[in-house]
Amino acid sequence: MLNRRLYPLFLLFAFMLSCAQGEVYYRFQHIDKGKWYRDSTVQFHMDSLELQTGERYDISIELSTNGAYPYRDIWMHVTHNLTDTLLLNDTLHFRIADDYGRWLGNGLGGLNQLSQPLFRSLPLDTASRYVIKLRQVMDADPLPGIEKIGIKVTTHQPE
pLDDT in tens, 74-114: 999 999 999 888 999 999 999 999 998 888 889 888 899 99
- Kindly give the confidence (pLDDT) of every residue in the chain, 159 residues in length, as a single tens digit, with 9 standing for 90 and above: 555 565 554 444 444 444 556 899 999 999 999 999 999 999 999 987 778 888 999 999 999 999 999 999 999 999 999 988 899 999 999 999 999 888 888 988 889 999 999 999 999 988 889 999 999 999 999 999 999 999 999 999 987
The secondary element (H helix, E strand) that includes residue 5 is helix 2-20
Domains delineated in the chain: 24-155 (2.60.120)
CA 102 to CA 104: how far, in whole Å? 6
Q: What is the 3-state secondary structure (H, E, C) of 99-152?
A: CCCCECCEEECCEEEEEEEEEEEEECCCCCEEEEEEEECCCCCCEECEEEEEEE
CA 130 to CA 133: how far, in whole Å? 10
Q: What is the arrangement of strands in the sheet containing 88-95, beginning at the earlier edge strand?
A: 42-47, 129-136, 73-80, 88-95
Asked if 94 and 76 touch (Cβ cutoff 8 Å), the reply is yes
**Cα of 129 vs its chain's centroid, Å:** 19
